[in-house]
Structure 1
Amino acid sequence: MKDMLTKIARRIKKNIIWLIALPVILGAAGYILPSKITGSSSFTSEAAIAAGNYDHPLYNNTKEIPLLITSDAFLKQALPDKTDEDRAAVKSKLTVNTESDALITVSYTDQNKQEAESVFQAIIAAFLKNDQALFEKRAKVVRQSIGALEGETVSADAKVDKERFLYELKNTQLNLRAASVMNSEPTNELAGHGMPPKKKAVLGVLIGIAIAFMFIVIPEFFRESF
């Protein structure tokens, strides 16, 4: 055993240069190679949207909004210049998540940065436009109801009911709100899939050490065994 360790030490001393160089070279290769072998980059646009509050069963319901935005009818409205095939491709790259009872996130990913931005903005704009129209319609009804009730002459017995209805309508008016973009991230570039460069560098070093061990220790081990 002592003789084997001595021989291993001698082999290590004799080959010290390439034993050090091999892990370094493989580690450097692991760091450099990802930029050459990974897939093409993609770009993602994302925004957080606070749902409106005006008693609409779809546009005010964050559990329904994801289904609404990804529906064929909505995408046809938002992207009228695209073909059905293009809109199907858009749907596969569009993500709408419910974050809470009042918040959703919308993101769109594409390999073309300009396409990612334009499609994303068109979808957000269409949703907000529809939402604003529905909000204004509801707000108008509430305003007209308040005006009509304030101008109505009632008997003394009905005055209490009138004031109660007015209070409820004004409360509703105060709580009405349209959807709004809470946070919009600029279009970010995402690197192609694969192991990060630093991890590949570490892996390269470990492989280099393993190869060095294999060529130094294993031959001596077999010689000692036979």
Structure 2
Amino acid sequence: MKDILIRIARRLKKNSIWIIALPLILGVLGYLLPSQMEGKSSYAAQITIASGNYDNPLYNNTEEIPLLLKSDSFLKEALPEEKEEYLAEVKEKLVINAESDSLITISYSDREKERTESVLDAISSAFLKKDQALFAKREAVISQSIDALDGENVSEDSKVDKERFLYELKNTKLNVKAASIVDSETVNEASGEGMSPKKKAVLGVLIGVTIAFFFIVIPEFFRESF
């Protein structure tokens, strides 16, 4: 064992220059080169929508809306010109959270600012367009019912029931509403993930020390074994 230590010490002394230089060189490279190797910036945007209220089990339910917006059929409708591969990527990056019984947030991030804006706008617009159509249909049915009942001639005994039904229908019409945007965040830039230059410099030094260890110490143990 003593002979091994002596030989290692001699090898260290003989190769001291490159043993010291190698970790320093790798450390400097680790500090300088990563600035050109960092991940690309990404962009993120978010929109908050208040769900509608017109007795639709899907479009008025904040627990169902996230499933709807991530469905293949909805994404194809919202982004008809995109290929299936890109739609799969959109589905993966799309984040939808139910904040309450009436609020949902839709978040999306992408490498390109324009992509982030266009995708989020397309998805929210498609949802609001369909929601508005369903709301208008429901409101029209209520209005038709009010007009029909209001113009109906009833007996004196039925007048009280008629007025009650009219009141309920008019009250329903006042309470129904379509979905709407309540808040939207502008597209924000986020730096790509990765180690900082200092951490990569330390990593470079450690790699250099490890390489030096293998070239100086390990050969002596192998020689002793044989």
Unpaired runs of 5+ residues, structure 1, are: 1-25, 208-226
Detail structure 1 runs of 4+ shifted over 6 Å in the superposition.
none
Matches for 1:3-14 after TM superposition, within 5 Å: none
Aligned to 1:166: 166
Aligned to 1:140: 140
2:192 is the counterpart of 1:192: yes
2:76 is the counterpart of 1:58: no
Structure 2 counterpart of 1:180, one-letter code? S
SS across alignment from 2:156 = coil
2:80 is the counterpart of 1:77: no
Q: CA shift at 1:194, angstroms?
A: 3.9
2:114 is the counterpart of 1:114: yes
SS across alignment from 2:139 = helix
2:43 is the counterpart of 1:47: no
- Relative to structure 1, is the Cα distance of residues 161 and 65 closer, same or farther in structure 2, using a 3 angstrom cutoff? same
Aligned to 2:181: 181
Q: TM-score, normalised by structure 1?
A: 0.71
SS across alignment from 1:157 = helix
Q: CA shift at 1:135, angstroms?
A: 0.4
Q: CA shift at 1:120, angstroms?
A: 1.0
CA RMSD of aligned residues (A): 2.2
- Relative to structure 1, is the Cα distance of residues 153 and 196 closer, same or farther in structure 2, using a 3 angstrom cutoff? farther
Structure 2 counterpart of 1:78, one-letter code? A
Q: What is the rounded CA distance, in whole Å, between the counterparts of 1:51 and 1:70 in structure 2?
A: 16
Q: What is the rounded CA distance, in whole Å, between the counterparts of 2:122 and 2:107 in structure 1?
A: 12
Residue-pair matches, total: 174
SS across alignment from 2:157 = coil
Q: CA shift at 1:38, angstroms?
A: 3.0
Q: CA shift at 1:86, angstroms?
A: 1.3
Percent identity reads 59
Q: TM-score, normalised by structure 2?
A: 0.71
- Deviation sequence 1:100-140 (CA, Å, 0-9, x none): 00000001110011111111111111000000000000000
- Relative to structure 1, is the Cα distance of residues 172 and 91 closer, same or farther in structure 2, using a 3 angstrom cutoff? same
- Relative to structure 1, is the Cα distance of residues 195 and 163 closer, same or farther in structure 2, using a 3 angstrom cutoff? farther
Q: What is the rounded CA distance, in whole Å, between the counterparts of 1:141 and 1:194 in structure 2?
A: 57
Q: What is the rounded CA distance, in whole Å, between the counterparts of 1:101 and 1:187 in structure 2?
A: 26
Q: What is the rounded CA distance, in whole Å, between the counterparts of 1:57 and 1:165 in structure 2?
A: 24
Does 184-193 or 36-45 show the bigger shift?
Answer: 36-45
Q: CA shift at 1:34, angstroms?
A: 7.2
Q: CA shift at 1:196, angstroms?
A: 7.1
Aligned to 2:209: none
Structure 1 counterpart of 2:44, one-letter code? T
Q: What is the rounded CA distance, in whole Å, between the counterparts of 1:102 and 1:76 in structure 2?
A: 25
SS across alignment from 2:131 = helix
- Relative to structure 1, is the Cα distance of residues 109 and 153 closer, same or farther in structure 2, using a 3 angstrom cutoff? same
Structure 2 counterpart of 1:188, one-letter code? N
Aligned to 2:150: 150
Q: CA shift at 1:39, angstroms?
A: 1.1
